[in-house]
Amino acid sequence: MHENIITLLMENAVQHLYVTNRATAATAHRLSGNSPSFHCEVSTNEKIAYELALAGAYAGKRCACILSTEGLYEALDPVMSSAYTGVAGSFLIVAVQENDEEVTPLGLFSKLPLIAAETRDELARAVRYGFDASEEYRIPIIVQAVPDRYDEGAKTGGGQGTKPQAKAASFIKEPGRWAATPKFRFSLHGELNEKIKKVSEAFETYEDNIVVKRGSTGLVTDRFSRLAFYDEDASVLKLATIFPLPHKLVQGFIDGMDEVLVVETYPAIELQIPDRTKVKSGFVESGRGRPQYDEVIAGFTVVRDRLGPASSINMAHGIKKLHPEKNILAVTFEDHFFHSGMPAYVNTLYNGSSCPLLIMVSQREEEIRRILGSYGVKSIFAIGTVDELARFRDTTEPVAIFYRGMI
């Protein structure tokens, strides 16, 4: 899927692309053929990727990020600020849904326009429309891409219409906008509200907002795939433009029904409907949150990255402080260590934590060894089997352990 997303972005003349996945970056470099008008970088985490792309958009460039839906939440600081500052060029954030996490609530929360694309063709239209809308309304646009039905539709290749011309960078100094200090945020908030109003009006005619008229019971959803178990005689309004809502289209559909069910994972659509007297909630039951379960390896209570990249380090440190008698093992990945693990590990060292850290590695072991050495960690080991972990029980000093493969 990522290869097709990159192809779509290139067909729409993206100039700067920032990702957090090395394989995605390698694909982008291969597809670009080292074009001098295209630049792609791998960023350590989503916040960095977002800020780099945003900086390019400040300077008038056509920029994009490819992140996971889960990863976009890691970048909330710049996401929220970018709604106020806007852009001078165009900025498209493609959030790929790789698990149950969705970004549909983020549009309403951040006041950034959000389009959900369910199929390959819908994504192609969303990317093209998103770049144009971002440029016209000077605001970042989020596109949520769902892999489940992505094989439906034609393959990309050959963009429609004339390919936009690449723009030269031109940064215009506007401290009141780009700095967005509290003094200026009041006026910027007013501008943002006007932008959202105009985008909402434009979304009234968006191609993938589809009305299917049947009976007097209506279903409003962001995906046709959610409706498999609902009455086939019901009328359907399928919305691709989650935020801002095209109010005339939605209210007109509701007014023509006796009863309306809004079928979505989160109430992103429902909360925007002004008159909900006919509306019932129909939230989709999908794994919200993550299952928590006990895991023991070689006598250690295992803490994994369940709250976010490298979250195991902070969680294990906290548990160890509360229960010093327990053998706690923090387990993370090499990329997660670079993402958020370094400041977390420094914090554990500063506060005298002694729970071992196991890092699953494939390519970056030597880099991490050098970093750990600079932190003053003396006990650094590589193991070949899980059973070897037993010798690190009851350790009283910081221990870092490398394991090549997955545990």
CATH no. for residue 307? 3.40.50.970
Among candidate residues 203, 222, 250, the one where a domain is terminated: 203
In a domain, 291, yes or no: no
Same domain, 355 and 238: no
Residue 114: domain span: 2-203
d(CA 331, CA 19): 24
pLDDT of residue 289: 46
Same domain, 36 and 116: yes
Same domain, 24 and 173: yes
Q: How many domains does the chain have?
A: 3
Same domain, 250 and 355: no
In a domain, 328, yes or no: yes
- The whole-number average pLDDT for the span 183-209 is 95
pLDDT of residue 287: 44
Half-sphere exposure of 168 (CA within 13 A, CB side): 1
Among candidate residues 281, 308, 334, the one where a domain is terminated: 281
Same domain, 197 and 215: no
pLDDT of residue 290: 46
Whether pLDDT at 225 is above 90: no
Whether pLDDT at 347 is above 90: yes
In a domain, 286, yes or no: no
Radius of gyration (Cα) for the chain, nearest Å?
24
Same domain, 109 and 23: yes
In a domain, 32, yes or no: yes
Same domain, 178 and 216: no
Under the banding of pLDDT at 50, 70 and 90, the label for residue 306 is confident
In a domain, 51, yes or no: yes
Under the banding of pLDDT at 50, 70 and 90, the label for residue 407 is confident
- The whole-number average pLDDT for the span 253-264 is 93
Whether pLDDT at 72 is above 50: yes
Among candidate residues 236, 257, 281, the one where a domain is terminated: 281
Same domain, 11 and 146: yes
Same domain, 361 and 271: no
Same domain, 168 and 124: yes
